[in-house]
Structure 1
Amino acid sequence: MAATSPSLLPVSPMASEEEREQALRDYKVTIEYKHLKSHAPGGVFLIPGMDNLRQFYGVIFIRRGPYSNGIFKFQLKLPPKYNAENQHPVLTFSAYVFSPYVDETTGILDIKNAYPKWDPTRHYLVTVLTYLKKIFYTKSFVDAKANDAAKELATKDPVAFRKKIEACVRESQKNMYSNDPGSTAKFTEEEVSHSVLRDLLKHHVKDESKVTKQAVLAQIEKARKV
């Protein structure tokens, strides 16, 4: 969550009331994002787009449970009047996610079912990310409405349900290096020099507290020559 939040342009003294209200909404978005740096749920990362204050790219790493080792990328879009009542964010997964809480056709997380009335005094970006994480660890799908087939399978045939999840996890790993156009949360495949550098550091760096900058640079130079 160390990414810098988008900057805001100053509001002209001649701006209309509507423009001033929009500028205030924009400012609140940046405040919410800064809040995420210390309050985002573990394993969830969100980075703002380069050109759009209301476009974010993220990824969640699942560490335990049925979806363990899953790497699920997503986009989070905020409506123009976000920070007003019932202006729900839209979170869309970049690849297929088999879950009773995710629409099978669109890949959209069913936020509206969890929060029928979006209240800007109680609900924030961290609310969305917390709910996002929750759906991967929950053991009950009583309240799920996005994918009835997945919900029914979880109840009637848990073994088949688990197999579908495992296939979904494998697919997420396989697509790890597939990046959405314009995404700021990009994954790139490791080059040979990177693996060589890692091995060199493991071999030569025995005590991290005693390593000098020059020693590390020397290993980097060796890796470059590969």
Structure 2
Amino acid sequence: MSNFQREGSIRKVLPVERNEDLLQETRENDIQKLYKTYKQEYVILAEYKMVQNENVPGVYVIPSKESSLLWFGVVFVRNGHYKDGVFRFNIFLDENFPDSEHPKVIFYSKLFHPVINPETNELNLLKAFPKWCKASQHIWQVVKFIQWIFYDMDKSVEHAVNLEAAEMFKNDTENFQKLAAEIVKESKNRLYDEPPVDDEHYLKFEPYVPDIHDKVRSEMINGQFETKYSKKGLSWVLPGSKKALTRPPTPPVEESEL
């Protein structure tokens, strides 16, 4: 049997300098990704702070514990065709937010409304936010728009995506009101449903329990329940203008305030 002697290696060995260059490049890429993530988290935290400061009546949102790109929301409608309705929705932020298109708003259940897509339950934001500009547009404005569609139906019809709902609202108000009332009833029946996701920040509701809630209710009625928020909402229209979303953006949030 002849002797077999291997010369060299069957593997391609990179020079030490090349290996170090690759490691350095990998480290730099990791640092850039980490910096981008931290920066985005800070921006989203500032956006949430602005939502709290605006205190839009009847609308509540909170970022998911699992992902800050997903926000849970609920709107309580106090007047209009959908009075007493409680409608859940999600706000989805793009992975490149705020350097991206406008957020997406999708309602949990079917909602017969001119500006809500009947197939996807997505709210049409294109008229309000044709092109998302991070310098002048913010999530609080999206939240305000969600509130607005339930109170200014005449204007919302102008940019309808559900043509059947728009047509019925304009020409058959009686039947539209009946259908809206059914939707409101269904929303209240599902108020205490089990959460569809396992997330500690999902907005959950429980029936009124006198032993637990009477004391808090009494404190609120007697003015003993402290709150830092103003009872008066803030306008989203620039004084002297009739165009929506023209009010200057809320001043930047200082890091010390977060």
TM-score scaled by structure 2? 0.66
State the partner residue of 1:49. Answer: 64
> Do the aligned partners of 1:113 and 1:145 also contact (CA within 8 Å) in 2?
no
Give me the whole-angstrom Cα distance separating, in 2, the residues matched to 1:107 and 1:96.
Answer: 6
1:32-181 equivalence runs, <5 A: 32-85=47-100, 87-140=101-154, 141-178=156-193, 179-181=195-197
> Do the aligned partners of 1:94 and 1:180 also contact (CA within 8 Å) in 2?
no
Whichever residue aligns with residue 74 of structure 1, its letter is F
> Do the aligned partners of 2:115 and 2:157 also contact (CA within 8 Å) in 1?
no
Deviations 1:157-202 (A, max 9, x none): 1111111111111111111112331352112335xxx335556x59
Measured after TM superposition, the shift of residue 22 of structure 1 is 4.1
4+ residue stretches of structure 1 with deviation over 6 A?
207-210
Give me the whole-angstrom Cα distance separating, in 2, the residues matched to 1:209 and 1:43.
Answer: 20
Identity of aligned residues (%): 25
Unaligned runs of 5+ in 1: 1-12, 211-226
Measured after TM superposition, the shift of residue 155 of structure 1 is 1.2
My pick for the range that moved more, 51-60 or 142-151, is 142-151
Whichever residue aligns with residue 107 of structure 1, its letter is N
State the partner residue of 1:220. Answer: none
Q: Larger RCO: Structure 1 or Structure 2 (Cα < 8 Å, ≥ 6 residues apart)?
A: 2
Tell me the number of residue pairs that the alignment of Structure 1 and Structure 2 aligns.
Answer: 191
Whichever residue aligns with residue 192 of structure 2, its letter is Y
Give me the whole-angstrom Cα distance separating, in 2, the residues matched to 1:89 and 1:122.
Answer: 14
My pick for the range that moved more, 136-145 or 59-68, is 136-145
State the partner residue of 1:217. Answer: none
Give me the whole-angstrom Cα distance separating, in 2, the residues matched to 1:180 and 1:58.
Answer: 13
> Do the aligned partners of 2:69 and 2:92 also contact (CA within 8 Å) in 1?
yes
Give me the whole-angstrom Cα distance separating, in 2, the residues matched to 1:34 and 1:177.
Answer: 28
SS in 2 for 1:120: coil
> In structure 2, do the counterparts of structure 1 residues 208 and 154 end up closer, same or farther at CA, with 3 Å as the change threshold?
closer
Deviations 1:48-78 (A, max 9, x none): 1111011111111111111111111111110
Deviations 1:73-127 (A, max 9, x none): 1111101011114x22111111221110111121111112321111111111101
TM-score scaled by structure 1? 0.75
Give me the whole-angstrom Cα distance separating, in 2, the residues matched to 1:147 and 1:99.
Answer: 7
Between structure 1 and structure 2, the one with the greater Rg is: 2
SS in 2 for 1:68: coil
SS in 2 for 1:128: helix
